[in-house]
């Protein structure tokens, strides 16, 4: 038995946990298979087995990648890699993580790069460029590719990661098993949120990352927890829970535009902000929402207050960070 499976967190932490994502895992989207390499494209596959499991605190070096030079194409604006993101280079790509892909091109204009048909964040790194690719939680370990506008492929390896297991006892039955009407509502709302996460890619003159922590408080549930509610498996936790008193102001972690607000079954009063370059953040269980859809917001602007709306057992912020439509661990990009 895996060590992490033994790490039971028997938790009925009133006030510290969100009961979001209580659909059974059969509702997971299927992993998208790796694209086929085009003839002539140069790639190099890491000698490290992708089935190797990356523990939570691993510092295993990332695989080397032999990359084909990109042909230049005018795309956007010269956003520089902030020094604080440089540590991502040394963190292996895992489900829910970020792949660092160096692009040996010295063109003054950024290349356009796609992963699973979605454009990804590209930043200036010295004389060259780097693509930072969000890896969906449901992706299986293996070799994957990004592609540029000239159909050149660049390989990277996704390693296995065993997130901790959390067993939670819930007393409210419909928190665990929504009824058919609630399931319909959940499906409808999932589409609204998915649409907001798929907001069209927008160039920025700055790097939207790193993100400032939107509130201070105890990290009450980490990203990726594999959850069992009353013994029944549920989707892994797709965000970071930060506990704070009711009414605590929630601050925008980076400039952006509000792309969706709503009062949803799971996440209650919710705000989604597009920060550009495929980065969208989500704020759930708010008590009050202080912004409107379409509003342009500055960094550290108050967007709402901490609450316990939706399926939450107490006041906390559920913070989701999506990179190229993949929910990633917010702690990877927190300032
Ligand atoms: Zn949460």
Proportion of the chain above pLDDT 70, given as a percent: 76
Residue 77: band (very low, low, confident or very high) from pLDDT cuts 50, 70, 90:
low
Averaged pLDDT, 21-48? 36
Ligand 1 centroid from CA 310, angstroms:
11
pLDDT at position 6? 33
Ligand 1 centroid from CA 17, angstroms:
7
36 has pLDDT over 70 = no
Ligand 1 centroid from CA 240, angstroms:
6
Ligand 1 centroid from CA 249, angstroms:
17
- Under 8 Å CB-to-CB from 193, ≥6 apart: which residues? 260, 262, 264, 270, 272, 282
pLDDT at position 12? 32
187-206 per-position pLDDT tens digit: 999 999 999 999 999 988 89
pLDDT at position 14? 31
Higher pLDDT residue, 129 or 21?
Answer: 129
Ligand 1 centroid from CA 166, angstroms:
13
Ligand 1 centroid from CA 237, angstroms:
6
Mean pLDDT for the chain overall: 81
For the chain, the structural domain boundaries read: 53-157
Ligand 1 centroid from CA 329, angstroms:
12
Averaged pLDDT, 259-264? 98
Ligand 1 centroid from CA 242, angstroms:
8
49 has pLDDT over 80 = no
Residue 19: band (very low, low, confident or very high) from pLDDT cuts 50, 70, 90:
low
Averaged pLDDT, 238-255? 98
Residue 55: band (very low, low, confident or very high) from pLDDT cuts 50, 70, 90:
very low
Q: Which two tokens stand for residue 8?
A: 């039971």
Ligand 1 centroid from CA 313, angstroms:
11
283-292 per-position pLDDT tens digit: 999 999 999 9
In terms of pTM, does the model score above 0.85? no
Ligand 1 centroid from CA 292, angstroms:
23
pLDDT at position 288? 98
The structural architecture, per CATH, of the domain 53-157 is Sandwich (2.60)
Ligand 1 centroid from CA 232, angstroms:
18
Ligand 1 centroid from CA 74, angstroms:
39
Ligand 1 centroid from CA 216, angstroms:
15
Ligand 1 centroid from CA 153, angstroms:
35
Residue 209: band (very low, low, confident or very high) from pLDDT cuts 50, 70, 90:
very high
Residue 210: band (very low, low, confident or very high) from pLDDT cuts 50, 70, 90:
very high
Rounded CA gap, 26 and 216, in Å? 35
pLDDT at position 71? 31
Residue with tokens 């057992």, as numbered in its chain: 313
Ligand 1 centroid from CA 212, angstroms:
18
Ligand 1 centroid from CA 46, angstroms:
34
333 has pLDDT over 60 = yes
Ligand 1 centroid from CA 281, angstroms:
13
pLDDT at position 18? 65
Ligand 1 centroid from CA 314, angstroms:
11
Ligand 1 centroid from CA 235, angstroms:
11
Ligand 1 centroid from CA 239, angstroms:
5
119 has pLDDT over 80 = yes
Ligand 1 centroid from CA 64, angstroms:
35
80 has pLDDT over 80 = yes
Ligand 1 centroid from CA 172, angstroms:
17
Averaged pLDDT, 296-317? 96
121-180 per-position pLDDT tens digit: 999 998 899 999 999 999 999 999 999 988 999 999 999 999 999 888 877 666 677 899
Q: Which two tokens stand for residue 334?
A: 């927190």
């Amino acid at each position: 038995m895996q060590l992490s499976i033994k790490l039971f967190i028997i938790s009925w932490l009133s006030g510290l946990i969100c009961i979001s994502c209580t659909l059974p895992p059969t509702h997971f989207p299927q992993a998208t298979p790796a694209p086929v390499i085009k003839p002539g494209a140069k790639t190099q596959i890491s000698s490290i087995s992708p089935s190797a499991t990356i523990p939570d605190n691993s510092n295993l070096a990332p695989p080397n990648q032999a990359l084909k030079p990109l042909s230049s194409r005018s795309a956007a604006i010269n956003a520089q890699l902030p020094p604080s993101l440089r540590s991502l280079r040394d963190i292996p790509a895992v489900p829910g993580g970020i792949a660092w892909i160096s692009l040996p091109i010295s063109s003054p204009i950024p290349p356009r790069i796609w992963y699973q048909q979605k454009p990804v964040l590209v930043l200036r790194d010295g004389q060259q460029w780097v693509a930072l690719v969000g890896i969906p939680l449901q992706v299986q370990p293996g070799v994957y590719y990004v592609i540029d506008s000239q159909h050149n492929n660049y390989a990277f390896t996704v390693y296995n990661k065993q997130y901790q297991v959390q067993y939670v006892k819930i007393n409210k039955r419909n928190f665990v098993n929504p009824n058919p009407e609630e399931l319909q509502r959940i499906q409808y709302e999932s589409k609204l949120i998915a649409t907001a996460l798929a907001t069209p890619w927008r160039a920025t003159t700055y790097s939207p990352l790193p993100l400032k922590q939107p509130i201070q408080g105890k990290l009450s549930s980490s990203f990726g927890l594999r959850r069992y509610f009353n013994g029944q498996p549920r989707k892994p936790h797709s965000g970071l829970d930060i506990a704070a008193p009711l009414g605590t102001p929630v601050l925008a972690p980076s400039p952006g535009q509000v792309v969706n607000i709503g009062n949803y079954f799971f996440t209650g009063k919710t705000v989604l902000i597009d920060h550009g370059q495929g980065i969208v953040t989500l704020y759930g269980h708010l008590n009050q929402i202080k912004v409107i859809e379409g509003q342009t917001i500055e960094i550290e602007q108050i967007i709402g207050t901490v609450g316990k709306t939706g399926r939450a057992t107490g006041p906390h912020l559920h913070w989701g960070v999506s990179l190229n439509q993949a929910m990633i661990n917010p702690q990877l990009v927190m300032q």
